[in-house]
A and B are shown apart, each in its own frame.
Chain A
Amino acid sequence: MGTVATPVVELDAVTKRYGAVEAVRGISLRIVAGEVVAMLGPNGAGKTTSVGLMLGLRVPTSGAVRLFGLPPTDRRARSRAGVMLQESGTTSVLTPREIVRLFGTYYPAPMPPEQALALAGLTDKADARIGTLSGGQRQRLYLALAVCGNPDVLFLDEPTVGMDVEARRAFATSIQTLAAAGKTVLFTTHYLREAEELARRIVVIDRGVVIADASPRELMGRVAAKRVAFTAVGAVPSGAFAGLPVAALENANGHVRFLTGEPEAVLRALFARGVELRDLEVVGANLEEAFLSLTRREEPA
C-alpha cells in the first residue's frame, strides 16, 4: 500500500453564517484527484457559498477547508485551480485573447491562449471586444480563463447559466475533454439532467447541508418518484396526509397533486382515512419533480 493521496478538496464540518442567515450548516466533503463532481441543489441551497469556501473567497464560520492540503488562500494551492464564478466580470474593453494571455501569466505552466480559447469554443471571437460578446459567449470566455492556467482542478459555479442549447452541448464536450485529461472538476448546477449527464458523482445540497452524495445511477434509483393527481369528492379531511411520504402537496379547490415514491401505499392510506376521489392519475415524475421530492422530503408537514 502506498500513502493515501492528499484530497484535492477537503471540507471538514464547515459552517458559514452571514449575519442571521446560516448558508452552510455543517458540510463535510472530500474530493479526490480525477473526480467529476456535480454539486446539485435549488437556488439558495448554499452551493455558491460552498464553492467560495473551497476557493478561500469566503472564510468559514467554523470547520476547516483545505485545497491540495493547503489553506485555499495559499498561492501554491490557487496556482493549481481554475475558477469560473457566477456573476464575476472582466474589463470589457480587452479582447478574449488579451485577457486569456494575461491570466496565463498568473500560473506556473499555462497552456497557449489559443488552446484555452479553442477548448472553450471561443476561437472565432478571440479578437472581439469582450463588451460585444453575448451572455453565452461570455460564459465561454470565463471557461477559457478557468482552463488557461492548465490547472489540476476546475471549480465551475453555475457554468451553463445563460447558455443556449448549442452552447450547453459544446460546454458538455469541453467538460468531457477535461475529465478525459484527468482533471478534477467540480461544478454546481440546479439541473439534475446536467449533473446526471456530466458527473460521476452528485452531491445534493439543500438548505446548507448535504442530503445525498452518490453516483448518478444510485441517485436516480432513489428519487424514482411518481406524480399523483386527483379530484377530491367532498372536502379532504384535515390531517388526511399526516405522516404520509408525500412532497410538494397542493390542494386547489379539491384538485389535489403531490409527489411520492410509494403511490400505492399513500392511496391506500387516503382511502382508509375516508378520502373519496375521482379522475385519479399516477404518472412518472419528470427529473425536476423527482429532484424536488428528494430535496423537500424532510420538510415538516
Chain B
Amino acid sequence: MSPRNSASEDPAPDIYVGLLFVAVAALITGCIFLALELNSYGWQFN
C-alpha cells in the first residue's frame, strides 16, 4: 500500500466515521459503568 498525502487528500467524513464516534462513545460509557462498579468495591480486587 502506497503512502498517502494527508494534507492534500483529506477525505471527507462519512457514515463510518460517525459510527466510529458512536463506538468510542459506547466504549467510554461502558468504561464509566465498570469504573463506578469498581468504585463501589473500593478499587479492591481481592
State whether these chains interact.
no
Chain A residues with a Cβ under 8 A of chain B: none
Residues on B close to A: CB < 8 A? none
